[in-house]
Amino acid sequence: MIASTRPTLSVSEPTLFVAFDVGKREWKLAVTSGFGVAPWVRTVASGDLAAVARVVRDGRRRFGLSATARVVSCYEAGRDGFWIHRALTALGVENRVVDSASIDRNRRARRVKTDRIDAIKLVQKLVRVWLGEPDVWREVRVPTVAAEAARHVSRERTTLVQDRTRLINQVRGWLALWGAALPRRHGAWWTGVRDWAGAPLPPEVQARLARAEVRLQGIEAQVRELSAQQRAAVRAAAPRSALAQLVRLKGVAATSAATVLEEGLVWRQFQNRRQVGGLLGFAPTPSTSGDTVRELGISRAGNKRLQHVMTELAWNWVRWQPGSALTQWYHARFGTAKRMRRIGIVAVARKLLIALWRYVTSGVVPAGAIVTPA
């Protein structure tokens, strides 16, 4: 979600602006007091908050600000996540986390790029944002500690399912080298596999398959554990909670509901349907210039995890909610042509996410949807 970029107090108030170029070993801090003031750049060790506090204190003194002058900072979202934001907030700094993909770049083939230059450009953009200039960048909505921690369950399960699929495909590939196929996996199944000539697989191949089976069983056990944890969360959820409301919709299972909520359907505090759609992506990308009018296809921007789960939910919705207005629109708009239906399901996913957001936040049931009693 895009956070507000307007200043909350008068822009005439003396303010210290600090931009962080966050690195693995060190941070570059560009400090200024406004337009026309050359930024002052300092380097501190990565994670050294005491040094950051000293730079802020020295920056106030350097630019002639009072010891209680307001401090506004920013950094680009990356591998360090949001702990830096929380740490700066604890120091009394008003911080903003910036979506790095939204920052304009110089498109020259050979441009100078250093951490120092990046920090200076970032603090200059921060001043522009603070003075109310729109569309300078897009900001990341920072989750609460509880919301960020909750995401690990669904994300871990997704990763495990992907690992399981990858490993099963590898096993199929190893068997294909010997003209064999993967049978039902139970017991020491690899000992009963025969090659193209009807002979048992070589001992080395059987040993590799046995080790792969151990890894598969471990992954599947963890998937079952996480799935049981999600189902238990549904049973323990309050009747009016967002999770309990979602799973009462026919076609929405515990795993899908948990993923949609943990990726931010509620905690991002959307203000309108366009912001909801912006999180998912799946938007058209027109290219119009002069007499040239083209459609470049569906945008790939958006939350990838949410895109995957919403595509699955869209197919389930069409199957289990045949009387809903959304399903009827889909059939009427895209008919029975296989290619058109595969394209149209993306539109269903986008519309469905907006409908689910309205359902869990305002109680508006999707038109014609089947809702099981609590």
Residue 222 and residue 164 in contact, taking contact as beta carbons nearer than 8 Å: no
> Looking at residue 372, what DSSP letter applies?
-
Tokens of 249: 């919709």
The count of domains in the chain is: 3
Cα–Cα distance for residue pair 122/35, rounded to 1 Å: 13
| Residue corresponding to tokens 């899908």 | 256
Residue 98 and residue 137 in contact, taking contact as beta carbons nearer than 8 Å: yes
Residue 101's pLDDT is 86
Q: What is the CATH number of the domain that holds 73?
A: 3.30.420.40
Cα–Cα distance for residue pair 317/369, rounded to 1 Å: 9
Task: Count other Cβ atoms within 10 Å, centred on residue 67.
Answer: 7
Q: Give which of 183, 185, 327, 179 is closest to 251, Cα–Cα.
A: 327
Same-domain pairing of 309 and 268 = yes
Residue 4's pLDDT is 46
Q: 200 in helix, strand or coil?
A: strand
Tokens of 224: 């079952």
Q: Give which of 56, 67, 70, 77 is closest to 122, Cα–Cα.
A: 77
Tokens of 16: 């210290």
Out of 171, 202, 236, a domain closes at 236
Out of 219, 236, 253, a domain closes at 236
Tokens of 39: 């930024």
Same-domain pairing of 232 and 336 = no
Residues 6 or more apart whose CB falls under 8 angstroms from that of 302 comprise 278, 279, 280, 281, 282
Same-domain pairing of 198 and 249 = no
Same-domain pairing of 52 and 162 = no
Residue 66 identity: S
What domain range includes position 187? Answer: 146-236
Same-domain pairing of 225 and 247 = no
Structural domain includes residue 369: no
Structural domain includes residue 139: no
* Beta strand segments in 145-298, E: 284-289, 292-298
Structural domain includes residue 4: no
Structural domain includes residue 6: no
Same-domain pairing of 227 and 303 = no
Tokens of 96: 């903003």
pLDDT tens digits for the chain (374 residues)?
Answer: 445 444 444 556 899 999 999 999 999 999 999 988 999 999 999 999 999 999 999 999 999 999 999 999 999 999 999 999 999 999 999 999 999 888 888 777 777 889 999 999 999 999 999 999 988 999 999 999 999 999 999 999 999 999 999 999 999 999 999 999 999 999 999 999 999 999 999 999 999 999 999 999 999 999 999 999 999 999 999 999 999 999 999 999 999 999 999 999 999 999 999 999 989 988 888 888 887 888 888 887 888 999 999 999 999 999 999 999 999 999 999 988 888 999 899 999 999 999 999 999 999 999 999 999 87
Q: How many helices (H) and strands (E) does the chain have?
A: 11, 7
Residue 374's pLDDT is 72
pTM of the model: 0.84
Cα–Cα distance for residue pair 166/215, rounded to 1 Å: 12
Task: Count other Cβ atoms within 10 Å, centred on residue 28.
Answer: 21
Residue 259 and residue 154 in contact, taking contact as beta carbons nearer than 8 Å: yes
Residue 113's pLDDT is 85
CA torsion 146→152→158→160, rounded to 10°? Answer: -150
Same-domain pairing of 216 and 319 = no
Same-domain pairing of 251 and 358 = yes
Residue 82's pLDDT is 95
Cα–Cα distance for residue pair 371/246, rounded to 1 Å: 9
